[in-house]
Amino acid sequence: MAAEREDPLPHLNRSTKMIEDKDRPGFFKDYHRAVRKALTNDQFNEFSKLKTNEDRIRFCFNLPAVHDIDIKTFFKGKSEKEALEKKESGNRCFGRKNNLEALKYYSQAVVKAPVPSGKYWKLIKESADPKKMTMYAICLANRSAALYHLREYHYCVRDIDEALEHHYPKPASTDVPECYVEEKPVIPELAGGRNERFVSASKKIDIHYDNNMGRYAVAAEDIEPGDVLVTEKPFAAILNRQEYGNHCQKCFKTTKAPIPCKKCSSVLFCSVECRQSSYFHTVECPILDLLVGSGMSINCFLTLRLVTQYPVSYFLDMKEKLTEGEDLKETTNNKDVYDPSDFMRLYQLVCHSQSRTAEDLFHRCIMIVFLIKALKKTKYFDSKGTGSSDKISDVEIFTGTLLLRFLQIVQFNAHEVSEYILMGPKTFDGAKNESMGAAIYPTLALFNHSCHSAQCRYFSGNQVITKAVRTISKGEIVPENYGQAFPTKVKTQRKADLADRYWFDCNCEACQNDWPMYKDMDSSTQRFKCHKCHGPLPVNTDQVLNPFIKCEKCGEQTNILSTLKNLQNTEQTFRGACKEMEAYNLEKAEALLIENTKQLDACLYPPYRDYHLTQEAYMRVCLCQGNLRIKLAKAEE
């Protein structure tokens, strides 16, 4: 993602919103301002001359003003009393056979109930007294009964297992049916099979490199609309704060019957497995509310997660390899497999350290100093840290250096993770795609941007899937879209937003040729494809006197009457697709929309209305295949 070239617009001050969450006030803003104000001009000059991230972090940590903050851990703990209250509310609903409402209360009780652990838990286990049931186990067992009546057998069985694990007496016989449905996300097959080098991408994709464009994706063979191009798990992912209550922290799946963190009551998981594999949360748990209160952006959370998902020893073992330079050529010269879970692949994504202003770097450093101070309050550094909050050990400096690099990488390489919200069952009316978090996908990050996207993204949990939305011939660039699509946003604004966030001057075909926005597209002038060389034949379809149009490129005559006839057919196909969408027949709609795109691609060059309507409809159908939440009417049970 993003070119390696020099910053084209070096004078914009654009760092702030990448670090602070503009919609969420917090104390970090004031903290940064106070530290910056306390800095003399000489000190700032000294900072601006520093050459390495390590020197910058060391310099900032030694400023007395950064320690004028009292960092405390606080988090929402468990409460046996609240759990009991919720459980009793659940029992009342269960007694009235209102199982959905009972499920809600029991879930709240499960989340609030203290989870036995450590010494206390060992004692209970050893005493093996069936009367000493834990509140946690009781709440789970009650919830499993509600789930059973709701026919959610998979969750029901899982809750029974977890309750038994936490010392609920084994029932004499269990009346849970043996077969139950397990929900598994559907990850489609990559078009043409898996790429041997870039294992998250289709065989039809190749990654090229040049000095001007950096790394970018190219079609290794002809790509057709509907082809699955990338399926990738995130290297790291972070859930939006607003979604904590209904999605798994680890995999982002919705939590019908959540499994809580053992210590706090803010964080939920979809399963015991996800809880067990979330080392990051055992680190973040005591400081989570502090971090939220700081008002730091989701990018900063993602940066921190890149560190907290591994113990510090993981990074120390690699220390020799982690030099500060940016060497991107490595990927394309090196014929090794590009494994997206390989830390070095992440480490080598672009960060543009060289073209940052001192002010930008200083702002980032203060964020990192804050994060290090917060991490010092956790068990993360353990014996490798210093006990005191205003001293810093070499390991802490090293971690700060990593964080500073990650914060820059995240700016250019993070993707939004989303879910599609339907306003009612089986209807596209009012449906919208909503952000649920952010993630880093090392392979997807290699695709360059175009305002005329070639693929749409959707998600299963936090795993990304992309499909081609148009025909791409072998050898052509396969672009992605970084949230700036030409049909809906005016060129100056797109270019400004891209320069602001990603630091490049967009030069895609839509920007270069001033393609009109959807509302300004004029259907009377269209660019037909020459039947011989595919060269564009601009035609005003209102005034066609002679159907034979001569190609300026190759001199051939193309009879556009047959093309016009084909276009009439596409209108029919599109209408058919819309009918299938109205009936929510997704498979049929998808097939028709793909067919329509192919027909249009064979006749005309974009931009024109029908083409973008087709793509728009196709993207909606794709979104329904990923994370999907359907709003139910309140009265429904």
- What burial class does residue 186 get, using C-beta atoms within 10 Å of its C-beta: 0-12 exposed, 13-18 middle, 19+ buried? exposed
Residue 453 C-beta: closest distance to Zn ion, Å: 10
Q: Which of residues 409-468 bind Zn ion (CB under 5 A)?
A: 451
Q: Cβ neighbours of residue 605 under 8 Å, at least 6 residues apart?
A: 527, 528, 529, 536
Q: Is 420:624 a contact under the CB 8 Å cutoff?
A: yes
Q: Is 527:536 a contact under the CB 8 Å cutoff?
A: yes
d(CA 72, CA 362) in angstroms, rounded, equals 24
Site membership for Zn ion, residue 577 (CB under 5 A): no
Dihedral of CA 190/192/194/200: which sign?
negative
- What burial class does residue 195 get, using C-beta atoms within 10 Å of its C-beta: 0-12 exposed, 13-18 middle, 19+ buried? buried
Instruction: CB nearer to Zn ion: give 102 or 270.
Output: 270
Q: Is 600:610 a contact under the CB 8 Å cutoff?
A: yes
Residue 440 C-beta: closest distance to Zn ion, Å: 18
Instruction: CB nearer to Zn ion: give 53 or 453.
Output: 453
Site membership for Zn ion, residue 272 (CB under 5 A): no
Region of 20-28, 66-74, 285-293, 475-483 interacting with Zn ion (CB under 5 A): 285-293
Q: What angle do CA 194, 198, 201 make, to 5 degrees?
A: 50
Site membership for Zn ion, residue 207 (CB under 5 A): no
Furthest-apart CA atoms within the chain: distance in Å: 95
Q: Which of residues 145-204 bind Zn ion (CB under 5 A)?
A: none
Q: Which of 207, 219, 239, 267 binds Zn ion (CB under 5 A)?
A: 267
Instruction: CB nearer to Zn ion: give 54 or 556.
Output: 556
d(CA 538, CA 190) in angstroms, rounded, equals 36
Strand 455-460 vs strand 432-440: parallel, antiparallel, or unpaired? Answer: unpaired
Site membership for Zn ion, residue 379 (CB under 5 A): no
- Single-letter residue type at 177: P
E strand intervals along 450-492: 455-460, 463-468
d(CA 295, CA 297) in angstroms, rounded, equals 6
Region of 13-21, 283-291, 296-304, 320-328 interacting with Zn ion (CB under 5 A): 283-291
Residue 270 C-beta: closest distance to Zn ion, Å: 3
Site membership for Zn ion, residue 283 (CB under 5 A): no
d(CA 101, CA 176) in angstroms, rounded, equals 21
Residue 52 C-beta: closest distance to Zn ion, Å: 35
**DSSP result, 106-127:** HHHHHHHSPPP-HHHHHHHHHH
Q: Which of residues 509-568 bind Zn ion (CB under 5 A)?
A: 511, 530, 532-533, 535, 551, 553-554, 556
Q: Which of 56, 86, 112, 250 binds Zn ion (CB under 5 A)?
A: 250
Site membership for Zn ion, residue 287 (CB under 5 A): no
Instruction: CB nearer to Zn ion: give 268 or 350.
Output: 268
Instruction: CB nearer to Zn ion: give 230 or 508.
Output: 508
Site membership for Zn ion, residue 251 (CB under 5 A): yes
Q: Which of 264, 268, 603, 617 binds Zn ion (CB under 5 A)?
A: 264
Instruction: CB nearer to Zn ion: give 248 or 560.
Output: 248
Instruction: CB nearer to Zn ion: give 90 or 258.
Output: 258
Instruction: CB nearer to Zn ion: give 32 or 495.
Output: 495
Residues that bind Zn ion (CB under 5 A): 248, 250-251, 261, 263-264, 267, 270, 274, 285, 451, 506, 508, 511, 530, 532-533, 535, 551, 553-554, 556
